[in-house]
Amino acid sequence: MPRTLSPHTLSDTSPILRVALPSPLRRLFDYLPAPSAPACGWQPGVRVQVPFGRREVIGVVIALAEKSELPRAQLRAVSEALDDAPLPADWLWLCRFTARYYQHSLGDTLAHAMPARLRQGHPMAGRTQTLWQRSPTAPAAPAFGRATRQAELWALLGQHPHGLPGRAISAHGFNHDTLTRLAQKGLIEARDITLTAPASPSGHLLAAPALPLNREQAAVLSALHEKLENFHPCLIEGVTGSGKTEVYLQLIEAVATKGKQSLVLVPEIGLTPQTLARFRRRFNVPVLALHSGLTDPERLDVWEAAANGRALIIIGTRSAIFTPLANPGVIIVDEEHDGSYKQQDGLRYHARDLAVARAHHHQIPVVLGSATPSLESLQRGLDGTYRHLHLTQRASRHPPAKLELTDLRHQRRQGGLLPSAINAIKHTLKAGKQVLIFINRRGFAPTLACHACGWMAECGACDARMTLHRQPPLLACHHCDSRRALPDACPDCGSGDLRALGAGTERTEETLQGLFPDTTVYRIDRDSTRRKDSFEQIIKEIQRGEPCLLVGTQMLAKGHHLPHVTLVVVINADGGLYSADFRALEHSAQLLEQVAGRAGRAADPGRVLVQTLHPDDPHLTQLAEHGYGALARDLLKERRIAQLPPFSFMALLRVESPQVDAATTLAQEAAHYLHEWIYTQQSPVRCLGPVPAPMERRQNRYHLHVILSANKRSQLHQAASVLVQWLELSRDARRVRWSLDIDPQSL
């Protein structure tokens, strides 16, 4: 049988489509056009279904070319175009930027950045709605006999000459059957309309009046107002409770008044119903939220509403940075230092950094806000790259509480608590207030130990101890999630004297419940809040204001407004003090300051007790006496001397394999290749490693690192791209898992 449309009949004049496919390979794939072109013609941004090996996959046309490296006869044709209009251009730009910056495959990046529905090949709905109306050819008064429901629906549609959507019809109590009967009789018909809701709100933009700003807030807002039409990167360094959110709200108001869109990023832990409610109370226009609770169709809906400009205010966590914007006005990144903005696997992007790049592309302002800015952003504020704005006073007028360091050495503890802390808790409860006890470890105790021989419960798959849990009783590894029953006796020496070592949230909860039997103790960690909503329920109860004790991990430390907490106790501040990771100190100082910020947010001043084995540590005393801002500036000086970020740029090659030899071989070869390249190119890039990862064995896989650093970003990127090209061709790289992390946040 003759083929009507063989590749040859498409001849030499048809363009070659260069398509990005969801594959880790950092290249495009060439195809011939499908027989029927999309309505917009072949152009970049159109999704296509293509044959790939023996499967069909969905990709995106990236470019049109006249020639391919392969002869035309060897190219396969696209099976089908899936869109009649290209995906949004700003989104496509962002994906291409992201893939290039993070040295990731473009096809993977696109797949990651688009809603699941589009990834699966569903159409972009284009927001059409089906309306039912009387058919123009129907008689004026048809006879319905005993079909009274049909007669009633006919009458209803008579009252709505422009038609009614199906949902409104069923809301009137009609079922689908009645509708189809009338349609089959040709009395009514369906009509599709495109929804074009007004971009500017009808009536008032505000549902609730803005708060009158204090002098500092007003100064910050007017600085932001100065340049709404340009790229204007700003860092707001504002103590917790200083009214940053109020400033964001009024900035968004100004932007929305011009009919432009605001994209607000919040940390994973920060997108609470409280936060959302606060935004929604203020505005009369919909505030669309992108969070993990959305269904796939809902997510696509938000995406499209943003892409066509109907949505003026979009708020979401990390991945919301990939929301297309028809009319971008501002991007706001709240708690910009938060670790959840960095994706830790696959496409390892940083949403805050992409926000700045995106704002530059759109030539709009970007606002980074934090009480504890990252050293990266702070340095740019200090050197003038970003406009540096300050909020030093709390709206409640109480200055944030100072940290009081208390010495853990040589002292008896109960459930991790010093006698002085227990005393302070007693007084606070007596005064009718609430106490937050912060402990960064869930479970009953960090491990189980034999008192006779020193044996400790270790994970069989990781270089780590297993955590003792009591509810339910078991040993669990927090790195690989493996579980074991509690042993009755020591597996090494048979002694029955097994003891819990140290304290976790469960143990502190138990101790406090014993000490204060008449007080409610809420434990808030990943185990106690597994059920959806339970966290929100607890927060609601706490906000009622009864005196109570809250024992929690960092879930509690951030974001929540806990107005009745006047005492915060930090069980142990030492986690980040002597870590091998150069960022550990920065991150633990941020966490301590954020925890401390929970105390005394409302009318009453607060107290923060910080227990430590190192009360004389210079970093800790600096934090306690002068706050995060002072410590951060000291840390910047140290980083500058050590040529660490933000004074240099880093990339981290991670290599992992169940076979230690395979991982080591590849890491060594990669490092060797880099050293050669650096030598022959006389490149100033530094290469360190391979070194074992801080936890070398995790989930029975061996992890090794090779670290690249350079004083200029362009130098680093050149080396990184050479490395990736080498890895893609290396035979040994196929036997192990590897990934390149640009600007790694932890080593």
Q: What are phi and psi of 52, to 5 degrees?
A: -140, 110
* Residue 270 found at the interface with ligand ADP (CB under 6 A): no
State CA 653 to chain mean position distance.
22
CA proximity to 312, closest of 300, 299, 323, 297: 323
> Annotated binding residue at 450?
yes
> Annotated binding residue at 40?
no
Q: Quote the CA–CA distance of 539 and 270 in Å, as a whole number.
A: 13
* Residue 211 found at the interface with ligand ADP (CB under 6 A): yes
Contact region for Zn ion (CB under 5 A) — 59-67, 214-222, 473-481, 599-607?
A: 473-481
Q: Quote the CA–CA distance of 182 and 190 in Å, as a whole number.
A: 11
Cβ of residue 442: shortest distance to Zn ion, in angstroms? 15
User: Could you tell which of Zn ion, ligand ADP, none binds residue 355, using a CB distance below 5 to 8 A set by kind?
Assistant: none
User: Could you tell which of ligand ADP, Zn ion, none binds residue 495, using a CB distance below 5 to 8 A set by kind?
Assistant: Zn ion
Cβ of residue 109: shortest distance to ligand ADP, in angstroms? 32
Contact region for ligand ADP (CB under 6 A) — 106-114, 237-245, 356-364, 495-503?
A: 237-245
Q: Quick one: three-class SS letters along 172-215?
A: CCCCHHHHHHHHHCCCEEEEEEECCCCCCCCCCCECCCCCCCCH
Q: SS3 for 240?
A: coil
Query: Of 98, 109, 150, 245, which one interacts with ligand ADP (CB under 6 A)?
Result: 245
Any bridge partners for residue 81, and if so which?
48
Query: Closer to ligand ADP at the Cβ: 212 or 472?
Result: 212
Kindly give the residue spans of alpha helices, DSSP state H, lying in 363-406: 375-382
Cβ of residue 217: shortest distance to ligand ADP, in angstroms? 5
CA distances from 436 to 126, 399, 422, 627 (A): 49, 18, 12, 20
Q: Quote the CA–CA distance of 407 and 418 in Å, as a whole number.
A: 9
Q: SS3 for 484?
A: strand
Q: Quick one: three-class SS letters along 523-547?
A: EECCCCCCCCCHHHHHHHHHHCCCC
Output the six-digit token pair for 642: 């050590």
- Contact partners, residue 654, CB within 8 Å, separation at least 6: 693, 703, 704, 705, 738, 739, 740, 741
User: Could you tell which of ligand ADP, Zn ion, none binds residue 145, using a CB distance below 5 to 8 A set by kind?
Assistant: none
Output the six-digit token pair for 12: 């030499």
* Residue 559 found at the interface with ligand ADP (CB under 6 A): no
Query: Closer to ligand ADP at the Cβ: 271 or 707?
Result: 271
* Residue 479 found at the interface with Zn ion (CB under 5 A): yes
Q: Quote the CA–CA distance of 510 and 517 in Å, as a whole number.
A: 10
Any bridge partners for residue 552, and if so which?
438, 524
> Annotated binding residue at 548?
no
Query: Of 38, 88, 243, 744, which one interacts with ligand ADP (CB under 6 A)?
Result: 243
* Residue 477 found at the interface with Zn ion (CB under 5 A): yes
Q: Which helix (H) or strand (E) holds 566?
A: strand 565-570
Q: Quote the CA–CA distance of 568 and 658 in Å, as a whole number.
A: 44
> Annotated binding residue at 95?
no
Query: Closer to Zn ion at the Cβ: 155 or 493?
Result: 493
User: Could you tell which of Zn ion, ligand ADP, none binds residue 450, using a CB distance below 5 to 8 A set by kind?
Assistant: Zn ion
Cβ of residue 338: shortest distance to ligand ADP, in angstroms? 13
- Contact partners, residue 424, CB within 8 Å, separation at least 6: 567, 569, 607, 609
Q: Quote the CA–CA distance of 60 and 549 in Å, as a whole number.
A: 54
Output the six-digit token pair for 446: 């960090």
* Residue 564 found at the interface with ligand ADP (CB under 6 A): no
Q: Quote the CA–CA distance of 599 and 621 in Å, as a whole number.
A: 19
User: Could you tell which of Zn ion, ligand ADP, none binds residue 196, using a CB distance below 5 to 8 A set by kind?
Assistant: none
Applying CB under 5 A, the site for Zn ion has a residue count of 14
Cβ of residue 496: shortest distance to Zn ion, in angstroms? 9
Query: Of 50, 60, 266, 459, which one interacts with Zn ion (CB under 5 A)?
Result: 459
Query: Closer to Zn ion at the Cβ: 126 or 491?
Result: 491
User: Could you tell which of Zn ion, ligand ADP, none binds residue 288, using a CB distance below 5 to 8 A set by kind?
Assistant: none
* Residue 492 found at the interface with Zn ion (CB under 5 A): yes
Contact region for ligand ADP (CB under 6 A) — 68-76, 139-147, 233-241, 521-529?
A: 233-241
How open is the CA angle 659-660-665, to the nearest 5 degrees?
105
Cβ of residue 456: shortest distance to Zn ion, in angstroms? 10
**Residues 381-440 interacting with ligand ADP (rule: CB under 6 A):** 395
| Bridging pattern class, strands 29-31 and 16-20 | antiparallel
* Residue 246 found at the interface with ligand ADP (CB under 6 A): yes
Contact region for Zn ion (CB under 5 A) — 319-327, 478-486, 508-516, 708-716?
A: 478-486
Annotated binding site: 450, 453, 459, 462, 477, 480, 490, 493
Binding site for Zn ion (CB under 5 A): 450, 452-453, 455, 459, 461-462, 477, 479-480, 490, 492-493, 495
Which residues of this chain interact with ligand ADP, rule CB under 6 A? 211-214, 217, 238, 240-246, 395
Binding residues for Zn(2+): 450, 453, 459, 462, 477, 480, 490, 493
